[in-house]
Chain A
Amino acid sequence: MEQKIRAVLFYLSVISFFILVPIVLLYSFGYKLDINRLRIIKTGLIYINSTPEGAKVYLNGRRINKTTPASIRELMPGAYKLSLEREKYYSWYRVVLVESGKSTTLDNIVLFPIKPHLDKINISDIDGFYIFPADKDYAYCISKDRTAIFKINLDPKEKEASLFSDQLQLPDNIKNISLAPDKKKIFCFYANRLDVIYLADGKANHAQVRRRNFFIITDRRISDAFWYSDSEHVVIITDKDIKIYELISEGRDNLITAFNINNKSPRALYDITEDILYFTQEQEGPDGESHKGLYCLDISKKSLFTIIKGIEKTVK
């Protein structure tokens, strides 16, 4: 009896295999039976996802009983008008080309809200703010009367704000402000002056910290300035030269000219991870014309060490 059951099971299994395999394979490869014409046709598919998910999907204006993320299968090759709709969000629309045997994936659609949610981070008056890569969770704000710098947490739920420095006299024409990698000081520059302002956290004696503030005057207008990676040097670019100022020997003759340049409005970018300065420089070419080129100045400690080694080798 059991051997009979076994035989039935065996033959059922064989039959199931030969029925299932072609059906699943045809479906997997996108083939569809066109009953009207009695032929097998190769279709394509669209996979669509949106942020946020759950948007209603319309194909050629007809609602498809799916929400994102959704795959629309067995589509005949051709162009389809695809749209997404979600309550309280702007609709999204695109014409999508479907090819036979191909899948079209649209998975980075962003639906923007009609009424975006606005969070108030800070309730006090500010004149301006800066967000520095070195301290991305906070905004460094300048008070409306430009006498104080304080920082506030960017998370609206955190009402954290702390005063860093007060009794300042920050001018209107500040060109840029930059936070040192050690987060203990900032500099701001305008015209031919660069102010280094030490930041005091909540518990520190503000007056004591404030006394450490100082400024540097250069003989030419400062076009850009950057912190060196050790937070103890500032790289200053004027339209005539590149200077390096050393903070630890403050008050002495500690402003050195690293490189003379010839550019009225040099563009510069500083890679603080490698301590390499990229800048534009005008030079006369073989044709006698002036050409503006891109240069890089490696002032990293590693490269300086290599130079010294090189000099020592030459001397030997």
Chain B
Amino acid sequence: MQDDFNLSKRAFEIIPAFISWSILVILVLFALLRPSAYAFLIIAFDIFWLIRIGYLTSLLSLAHRRLNRDKNKEWLSLCRKLSDPRSQNIYQAVIFPVYKEGLDIIIPSLEALKNTNYPKDKMIVVLAFEERVMDSREKAKMLESRYRDDFFAYLSTFHPDGITGETRAKGANTTWAAKKLKDVLDHNGIRYEDVIVSCFDADTCVEREYFGCLLYHYLNAEKPLQCSYQPIPVYNNNIWYAPSFARIVEITASYFQLVDSMRLEKFVTFSSHSMSFKTLVDVDYWPVDKVSDDSLIYWKAYLYFKGDYRVVPMYITVSMDVAYGKNLLQTFIIQYRQKRRWAWGVEVFPYVMLNFKTDKVIPLNKKIRKIFQILDSHISWATFAVILTIISPLAMVFGNYLFKGTVIGFNLPRITGVLFNLANITALSWIALSLTLLPPKPKELKFRARIKIVTQWLFMPVIMTFIGSTPALDAQTRLALGRYMGFAYTEKKRGRV
């Protein structure tokens, strides 16, 4: 039975990479051996991509409109107007997993918490340190002395290294912290269902109304315990100082989160998210042996509630740091590694498949839809940029050789060129939207910084070529080969390069 389980697990681990590589290899083989079939597929793909990008841009505009609509809402007042007795009892617990982040990163996040309008006597803050990091205790002590009295409870936890069954990942640390939080709640006689827990990256700065917004959505949810609550992550903390290259990658990531917020059926938790503490305890916390704890917690809950679990989008932003290095090469490497870690989210596929296999309650059509959604997002991520920027232009470069003297040989480069350019035109709306998401320009920066933030989009095709699909393809290949990834810490940096 164990052998069967392992075999299935390996098979499911191989499937995403197998599909992605098959698509790419088949297209290249067709280009060399069956140029007409290649032309057929490339034109169909380019039209599919053009329509898809148009569709996604429409969703982005809708989501953006919602974000604007909800931006100035006084959520806490709205909660009071609901006259829901629960609203007085809800505690907001926030866990900040800290690895090597310095005080310059953590303090602004805690200050942002302090500046929220949620009653501080209903807030519990947990700073989850790793015991193996040398200066954890010093940092904890310093922060404790500063923030101890600002909240109902302030905890510093130190996750020990080398616990059996754990991997060195964020999920293991946050789970350890959540268990310590449980002790505090038990000690104070607070019911788990009265606590909403938020797991934030150490650089996450929330808006003043964040917890009001969270409470409002919690109170209005049909089954609040069967929901995760997902804000829109933006990377505004240091965006004005980050290199253009890194900015575009992160803005695009925010965009995809906005788009997904409109596709509720495939919306899963990502990065900073919130949920009921009771649900967290019931599903046995975040996974301790996986890297993608943020998305896997959704799947754990989904399986626990037999498919009756969803992610509620909250059109309020949480701001994080753009990851960048000292120079362009370092920035590229950091970005590449970060995106590869995100793409490692493909590990949910074998996890979900194995659990779907044993589950007898979730309807088959629901399972199929979910499987398709996981595969669709990961496989399109791993292939679309390679097809658009490498395989599709083969027609232009080798057109004369591949299709010598044929009508399709003459038409293909022209048609793919037109389709590609039409898709690029949608980028204009992305530029406009990106400007509205920006924080105010720091005074010390000159006007040219504003020009740069518009012209940076010219790098889009280059970025797409190098960092569009390759991290995802890399992550999937590693999973297929059984070269499992550990959590790679992304260094946080503020200020000029």
- Listed in ascending order, the chain A residues whose CB lies under 8 Å from chain B are 2-3, 5-6, 9-10, 13, 16-17, 20-21, 24-25, 27-30, 43-45, 47, 71, 73, 101-105
Contacts and interface: CB of A to CB of B under 8 A. Distances in A.
Contacts of A45: 407, 410
B108 interface: no
A34 B38 CA distance: 27
Contacts of B415: 24, 27-28
Contact of A27 (B54, B263, B409, B411): B411
Given A2-B262, A25-B44, A30-B411, A104 B59 contact: no
B407 A102 contact: yes
B52 interface: yes
Contacts of A6: 59, 62, 262-263
Contact of B59 (A9, A30, A101, A105): A9
Given A17-B48, A30-B411, 10 more contacts: A2-B62, A2-B66, A9-B55, A10-B55, A25-B44, A28-B39, A29-B39, A43-B407, A102-B407, A105-B405
A73 B407 CA distance: 9
23 contacts: A2-B66, A2-B262, A3-B264, A6-B262, A6-B263, A13-B52, A13-B55, A21-B43, A21-B47, A24-B43, A25-B43, A25-B44, A28-B411, A28-B415, A43-B407, A71-B410, A73-B407, A101-B408, A102-B405, A103-B406, A104-B405, A105-B405, A105-B410
B59 A29 contact: no
The winner among A2, A28, A103, A104 for most chain B CB atoms within 10 A is: A28
Contacts of B52: 13
B62 A103 contact: no
B40 interface: yes
B412 interface: yes
A47 B410 contact: yes
Contacts of A24: 43, 47, 415
A102 B406 contact: yes
A209 B275 CA distance: 98
B58 interface: yes
Given A9-B58, A13-B51, A20-B47, A25 B407 contact: no
In terms of DSSP, what is the predominant structure of the interface of chain B?
helix
B312 to A, nearest CB: 14
Interface of B: 36, 39-40, 43-44, 47-48, 51-52, 54-55, 58-59, 62, 66, 262-264, 405-412, 415
A29 B411 CA distance: 8
B297 to A, nearest CB: 25
B62 A17 contact: no
A16 B410 contact: no
Given A24-B415, A25-B40, A28-B412, A103 B51 contact: no
B59 A20 contact: no
B47 A103 contact: no
Contacts of B406: 101-103
Contacts of A28: 39, 43, 407-408, 411-412, 415
Contacts of A103: 405-407, 409-410
Contacts of B412: 28
A20 B407 CA distance: 19
A13 B53 CA distance: 10
Contacts of A5: 62
A30 B44 contact: no
A43 B411 CA distance: 13
A2 B412 CA distance: 37
A71 B44 CA distance: 23
A27 B43 CA distance: 11
Given A9-B59, A13-B55, A30 B43 contact: no
Nearest to A29: B408
A277 to B, nearest CB: 40
B408 A30 contact: yes
A236 to B, nearest CB: 49
A101 B410 CA distance: 10
A47 B409 CA distance: 12
Nearest to A12: B55
A25 B45 CA distance: 11
Interchain residue pairs A-B with the least CB separation, the first 10: A30-B407, A103-B410, A28-B411, A13-B55, A13-B51, A29-B408, A20-B47, A103-B407, A17-B51, A9-B58
A30 to B, nearest CB: 3
A83 to B, nearest CB: 21
Contacts of A105: 405, 410
A88 B66 CA distance: 64
Contacts of A3: 264
Contacts of A25: 40, 43-44
A24 B410 CA distance: 14
B410 to A, nearest CB: 4
Contacts of B263: 6
Given A25-B40, A28-B415, A17 B410 contact: no
Contacts of A102: 405-407
A9 B59 CA distance: 9
A29 B38 CA distance: 12
A28 B66 CA distance: 41
Contacts of B264: 3
Contacts of B55: 9-10, 13
Contacts of B66: 2
Nearest to A28: B411
Contact of A16 (B36, B51, B262, B408): B51
Contacts of A43: 407
A9 B61 CA distance: 12
B48 A29 contact: no
Contacts of A9: 55, 58-59
A3 B63 CA distance: 11
Nearest to A31: B407
Contacts of B58: 9
Nearest to A20: B47
A102 B36 CA distance: 13
Contacts of A44: 407
A73 B264 CA distance: 46
A5 to B, nearest CB: 6
A44 B412 CA distance: 14
A73 B36 CA distance: 19
Nearest to B40: A25
Contacts of B36: 29
A44 B411 CA distance: 11
Contacts of B39: 28-29
